[in-house]
Structures are given as structure tokens and as C-alpha cells.
A = this chain, B = another copy of it.
Amino acid sequence: MVGEIISVGTELLLGDILNTNARYLSLQLAELGIDLYYQTVVGDNEDRLTEAIIQAGKRSDIVILTGGLGPTGDDITKETLAKAMAKKLILDKQSESIINDYFISRGISPGKTNIKQAYIPEDAIAIKNDNGTAPGIFLKHNDKMYFCLPGPPNEMKPMFEEQIKPIIQKISSTSIFSRTIKLIGIGESKAAELVQHVIDKQTNPTIAPYAKTSEVHFRITVKENDKEKAIELLNQAEDELRIYLEEYIYTNDDKELNEVIVKLLMDKELTLSVAESCTGGLFSSSIIDVTGASKVFVQGIIAYSYESKNKLLGIRPDVLQSQGAVSEIVVKEMARNIRMISDTDIGISISGIVGPGGGTEHKPVGLIWMAIDYKDNIYTKKILLKGNRNKIRENTTKQALAFLYRVLNKQEEPF
């Protein structure tokens, strides 16, 4: 069964707002086992909206329209739907009395434009709106189902979940279950190459790779009505991916890398301190983002200047002068010293050149050194990143998280 979403609103075409409704409905339809092939955004324009509705009716079984149910002359969604289906608009008595009550309870009398909202196409069913005055609409026509929902998410979402989802659930013959396997330390193309033969032979579940900042995700999706059977199929596909990718996988649990690391530190009862330079607090912040971080994170020092590296972290000026702040020896000392100052199990340090200025032939923009002191073993890593200042800083933070994860899992060799 195929669904389609049409988002109506000139404000979407002007870029004034993000289309969060389309995303929400896509997620919902996926869970209901409805295939979605298209999302369309169209303005409050009768001709173009008519075209979009007719096209959707030809190629999809369920058409969901959002937006354009308001009281003003701009709002033409249900008028256009009715016209496209050659249906009249008729007054829905129940909607009328709900609108009247709504205004009277606020001490105002409803205007003519408000009562416009109580009109629905003939043969349609009005769907009650608990959070506003525009009723939704459910119309069956030529074996296709059309739903109109209000644009404001706080009206649209409860209406969908409480009233429309059960209707679709009844007619949907398949359910979809999915799982995301997340990897670090490997690029998308390399990862896909390693398991291409697994991906190719799969039809249900399907497996698809996605590149994220410093990560690769594999999404396994299965169409299957029986939940236990679905989980078994997901497990099988995951096991097969693990044969080739085990060492890169950090979660199959929809968690972010920083959450996985904080949990790992909590489980191992380890504490952490941080000395960062170029990332300027971003690494510490990614740890403190996680609820419960106070159990593992003790303190951080953002030593941005030479003086600061010397005074707060005790890096000798002659080392800074001779080797530069972005060097293996400096990050080693930073990691060791922050750990000693903070009396933690782990000290991690990051120093790099994030640009746009400050690069040289031997130390170009994008060069990053990092070190981890973990129970007196020192681990170091050098990476070279591309992009603008902020991209390098974000990417460095992610790479440092990956490095810490691998050290905690004994996947790195000490210095």
C-alpha cells in the first residue's frame, strides 16, 4: 500500500519554516508499513494544488494533505480537494457547533470566516480537532483515501495519532521494523564495499548505508507483520553485518556515540578530565550533553593560548617553542597533566590547527593531534581534516570520541 504526503503552504516554498510535518508523517507511515514514494510541497494556489492532488491520486492509495485549513481566504486545501473530486462543500453541523462553542467560551462571537472552517466536501467525514478550530477531513474517492490535516503541528499530530492512525492501521497489511547499526573509524565507501555482497542479496530485510559526520550507519528494515519474526530477521541481518564490520560497530541501539561512551565510563566506573585547545570546549560539551555526565566528567581546561598551556597545564615553554602546540609531545603532556591535576582515571587532550590562518607547509590547517592517558598508558593519534573552521572543530570532536571509544575497548595500542 502506497502513501503520499502533500504539504500545502507558501511559507514552506519561501523557506520561512521547516517542513517538520512531512518528516513526522513519513516516520508514522513507515511504522504503519505504508510505502512512501513522494513528498510534495505546493503553495496555496488552486491550479497547482489541483495538479498535485490529481497526480497523487493516480499513483498512491493514501494521500495526506497538511495545511491550508485556516479561516482566511488564503486557505484553500479542502475547497480545492472538493473541486478536484467534483464535490460540493456542505456545512458540517457538528463542526459548526464546536467552532461556536470555542469562540463563545472565550467571550467572542465567531466571524463568518470562522464558520468557513465547518464546511467539508460532501461524502467526507469531519475529523475532530481537539487543539484548534479547523476539523480534519477524511474522504474516500475511487478507492483512494484522502486526508486533510491542519498545518500547526500541535493540532496535526494528535489528530493523526488518535484518529487517523487507527484508520490506516486497519487497512495496512504490513508492518515495518527497522534497526540502525552505527559504525566509527571507517568511511562509507569502505564499509559498503566490505558488505556489498550482503546488501545485494538482501530483499527483506533491506540494508542501506548512510554517511554521517565521522560515522557510517547501516539501516536494516524488514517488512513483517509478526513482531518476533521481524526481530529474528533483524538479528540475522545484523549478525551477518557483524561478520565483516564488528570492530567498527559501536551500537545497534539508536544511541549517539557520546551516550555510548558515557555509559561505558559509568559501567567501568571511570572518571574523565579534558584538556582541549582547538575544539575550545566542544569535546567537553559533547560529554556533558549526556544525562548523568556528572558521574564521569570531573573538569576540563580550555587552554587556548601558549601561556594557558603553560600556566594551567604545566607544559614547558621550551617544548612549546621547539615542537609547537600542535605536536605529539605537547598533547601527551597535556593528557598526562590534566589527568594528574584532576585525579581522574582518564585524561584526554586535543590540539590542532583549525584555520583559516595559522597553517604551514609541515603543519597545515586541519592537522590535529590528540592523546589519551588511561591508567598510565598513553595513546596518541594524528589526523588531517578538511573543511572550514567549524567543520574541522566538529569533526575533531567526533574523532576524539571515536578514539576514546576505541581505547576503552582496547582497540588501540598504547604508545
Contacts and interface: CB of A to CB of B under 8 A. Distances in A.
A245 interface: no
Interface residue tally on A, bucketed by range: 35 or more
A150 B314 CA distance: 45
Nearest to A29: B15
Interface stretch (A30-38, A163-171, A316-324, A399-407): A30-38
Interface in A11-31: 11-20, 22-30
Contacts of A97: none
- Work out how many copies of this chain go into the complex: 2
A312 interface: yes
Contact of A209 (B43, B74, B114, B154): B74
Nearest to A199: B73
A304 B297 contact: yes
A308 B298 contact: yes
A49 to B, nearest CB: 10
A388 B132 CA distance: 11
B15 A19 contact: no
A288 B19 CA distance: 28
Interface in A388-415: 388-391, 393
B305 A298 contact: yes
B189 A289 contact: no
15 contacts: A11-B210, A13-B37, A14-B26, A14-B221, A19-B39, A71-B192, A106-B384, A280-B284, A285-B393, A288-B302, A294-B305, A301-B302, A302-B302, A308-B342, A312-B341
Q: Which 6 pairs across A and B sit closest by C-beta, in order of nearness?
A: A281-B281, A280-B288, A15-B27, A15-B26, A300-B302, A281-B284
